[in-house]
């Protein structure tokens, strides 16, 4: 009695899956996805060559930076808290330049601003926290803008990307000739590249608008603060 090849029971990989993995940068996430595809799907010749080639690429370090905003890492606002004498002394000793306040101190201050109960203390804490929050808001927005401008690397030349996708297309429509399936594969890749370019442009535009909005808001707050200082001088 003939033994069935276990791979024959696996589903065929889809064109969409191959386009997605081919467009991904060579990160640990892609290596995991490639390994899952090789393990769980029946692969044709070009598909196996493509996945083997992608898996052989050296993993790149992360091209995008993660900015940790101290307010995002502070505990959620809870029951109102009273400031101790030690807290007030600590507030007085904080640097006046927001860029010189340590990340841990900024995180503690953000928590304090969200939780302090007494009205006069709340006004004090938030007046100290506001310029520090502005500093980190702006740094976060600038980081996101820089990340949006990072272009993903091109698909390595020499890998049979279109042929592999063409095999998947023919698995879905056996009436297509190999060259017809490969033509469709090139169309899918062109669409994917155009979509990626549009998403990148949109992300850059959004990030630039955020940076401009923060600059305007922070300039207005600075002007208001100066006006109040002159008024009470």
pLDDT tens for 118-127 read 888 988 999 9
Examine the pLDDT at 229 and tell me if it is beyond 60. no
Residues 167, 183, single domain; the answer is yes
Q: Are residues 191 and 207 in the same domain?
A: yes
- The pLDDT assigned to 3 comes to 46
User: What average pLDDT does this structure show over 200-222?
Assistant: 92
90, part of any domain: yes
**Structural domain span for residue 117:** 70-132
Per-residue pLDDT averaged across 192-211, rounded?
A: 95
Confidence tier at 60 by pLDDT (50, 70, 90) = confident
Contact 163/44 with Cβ under 8 angstroms?
no
Q: How many Å apart are CA 120 and CA 224, to the nearest integer?
A: 20
The closest of 43, 63, 70, 136 to 98, measured between CA atoms, is: 136
Report the mean per-residue pLDDT for the chain: 88
Nearest Cα to Cα of residue 41 among 22, 59, 2, 15: 15
Stretch 175-184: mean pLDDT: 95
Domain count of the chain?
Answer: 2
């Amino acid at each position: 009695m003939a033994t069935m090849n276990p791979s024959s029971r696996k589903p065929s990989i889809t064109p969409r899956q191959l386009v997605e993995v081919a467009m991904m940068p060579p990160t640990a996430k892609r290596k995991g996805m490639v390994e899952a595809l090789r393990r769980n799907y029946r692969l044709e010749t070009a598909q196996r060559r493509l996945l083997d080639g992608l898996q052989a690429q050296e993993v790149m370090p992360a091209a995008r930076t993660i900015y940790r905003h101290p307010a995002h890492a502070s505990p959620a606002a809870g029951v109102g808290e009273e400031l101790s004498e030690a807290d007030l002394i600590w507030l007085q000793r904080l640097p006046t330049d927001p860029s010189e306040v340590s990340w841990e101190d900024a995180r503690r201050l953000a928590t304090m601003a969200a939780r302090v109960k007494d009205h006069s203390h709340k006004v004090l804490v938030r007046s100290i926290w506001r310029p520090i929050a502005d500093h980190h808001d702006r740094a976060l927005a600038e980081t996101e803008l820089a990340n949006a401008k990072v272009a993903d690397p091109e698909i390595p030349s020499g890998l049979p990307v279109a042929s592999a996708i063409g095999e998947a297309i023919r698995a879905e429509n056996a009436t297509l000739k190999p060259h017809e399936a490969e033509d469709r594969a090139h169309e899918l890749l062109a669409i994917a590249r155009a979509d990626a370019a549009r998403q990148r442009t949109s992300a850059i535009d959004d990030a630039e608008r955020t940076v401009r909005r923060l600059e305007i808001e922070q300039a207005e707050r600075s002007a208001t603060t100066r006006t109040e200082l002159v008024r009470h001088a």
